[in-house]
Structure 1
Amino acid sequence: MPSNDIGIDLGTATVIIYDAQRGLLLKEPSVVAVDTRTGDIITAGSDAQQMLGRTPDRIRAAMPLSDGVISDFDMTTAMISYFIKKVYAGNLIKPRVVICVPSGVTEVESNAVVSAAASAGARKVYLIEEPVAAAIGAGIDISKPEGNFILDIGGGTSDVAVLSLSGIVCKTSVRMAGRKLDEAIVRYVRGKSGLLIGERMAERAKIACGSVFFTPEEDCKIEIKGRNLRTGLPGKVTVTRGELCEALSDPIETIILAVRRILEITPPELAADIHRNGLILTGGGALLHGLDRLLERETHLPVRVADNPTECVAKGTAAAFGYLDQLADGFSRSSTYRH
């Protein structure tokens, strides 16, 4: 019998719905297209993403989440509802839902997520902080009295945390992640070549040739297209991996500083565990070329990328139903909230 318990990674860039029994149910961009005359949702996900920047006045395509939190409540509710109906078509029993949120989320932001999910048809809603979900999804036994160090880089936020005994010992969250890296590439290309490119083009360049740590032997090139700001005409330019590394250096430094901050306040006993266990990278940002080597150089820790890092948080979110009592009781400031 299909499970009615699902985990939702409600990301700034991508929504992933996962079922602990059935696995991945949905992976779609966090985009909604709405009819401006009626307010009705036209579509969401991949179809809506194709409309970004290409819609007439009667249609608005937008991303209702910004920096990991809800920026448009009504559109977020409509998007969650659309996706839940898509994976639970014909099912009369409403699902219980666990949604992961950034570790720095405020109470107001948490309540907005819960209200949106409840309005979208969830029977019961739980929230879990992203580093905890990431650790569970990476296969770590968080109940042990042992320090585990997690860095989750998503689309809107990067979360850093040290976990032990089913709890978060220390943590921080910075709103510097995938989207900000794309924006950094847009600014760099505009400043150096006078070419205005879209964020989707910047994202493709980042995935194909972006890097934060590489050797000349690993260099590559990619052609990117946009609008020449001097002539107003379509144009293109070729950028190298070295140039993209330069473009990404400042935002990546912000993430590295957050990692260092947590290391500085980690209790000595757990620091010894971390020196042995290393740093685990999760989220789409974990796939950025050279990031693991850069972090190894900067922290002097072994660094490994979790298996399937893009779905790691969603997988852990779905698996969190088996940890709800432990998480609610095991945290000095609970990372799971019942509603």
Structure 2
Amino acid sequence: MKRLFTLFLIVMFGYHAVSQSVVVSFTGENVNKEYVQIDSVVIMNLSEDWSIKLNYPDTMFDLMTVGITELENTPTNFQLSQNIPNPFNGNTNFTLQTSEREYVSIEIRDVLGRLIVDYNNVLNAGVHSFDLQLNIPQMYFVTAKTNNQTSTIKMVNTQQTGFTPSIHYRSQESYVETKQATQKSGDVKTFSVRDTMLYVVYYQGIYTTVTQRQAANEDFVYTFDTDLYVDQSPQNRTVLLEEFTGTNCGYCPDGHRRADSLVNVHPGVIYNVNIHAGSFAAKYKTNIGTLLNSKFYVTGYPTGMVSREVVNDGGNYKYAISRGGWGYVAQQLFVKPSYVNVAAKATIDTVTRK
């Protein structure tokens, strides 16, 4: 089973860490209900006219509603600082600011909510520094709690290590009170409950979208077909030879021979299909064959269309050309790059021919 990938959008619409939040999560799965790793999600607020792109594994985003500010380092402030460096390679550090002597619990959890390591102690008022070691590359959430306050940050480890996960107290700085008002985020994205949101989820070049008013927590699960049978590297064109033929046609066997030879010499590059139409195929005509015969002004047999290219045949421009020109035109086409890679799957019942 492939690795579970969940994206979180946290929309803060209260004051301080005890405020409520709206959480939307995005999970990818294949047709067998196995989890797949989504590449990214573009989140658009159509009501407020902003957007942001979240890339794996940094998959959490904090928003404040209009007008919400809070004072930094006020006597009631309790806050974790963002770890440095972030992302990090196994080792990082962060600080926790406390406004009074109190019992503090710090937990580090993964995106599935599993506890990785914790720290519990009584801390004096001030700024406390911690060293952290983690061993699995993924996103983590660090949450510090007291009896009535909570603060959370996210961090991303990018390197597999042999460390045992651990958190160590390093030092304390003295507490300094200030009155400077600051936004909790330098890039404020406003959100109001029931704003119209557009989510675009990407997986290996495929994407799917959802547009809706967002008023509550919601888990989105997207199903992707992971059996990608279309080659994603640049390819040259393939050629389709549509041969108009019949059963009472003197030169039609030679047309078959030439068509089969082209397919055998260029397997996987040239394909052919026989269309029985016209006066030489009375017993084997089909409605589709008759329609094509008329649409492309076919007047002789055998003739063939080479990828339905218009060909200058002695000053006459036509689709269906004589068998002697099929190979020449095909060779001009299959050396050119294709406009787009296209593949299809089909199942044929040989009994019902459907």
Higher relative contact order (CA 8 A, sep 6+): 1
Give the TM-score normalised by structure 1.
Answer: 0.22
Structure with the larger strand share: 2
Give the TM-score normalised by structure 2.
Answer: 0.21
Structure with the larger helix share: 1
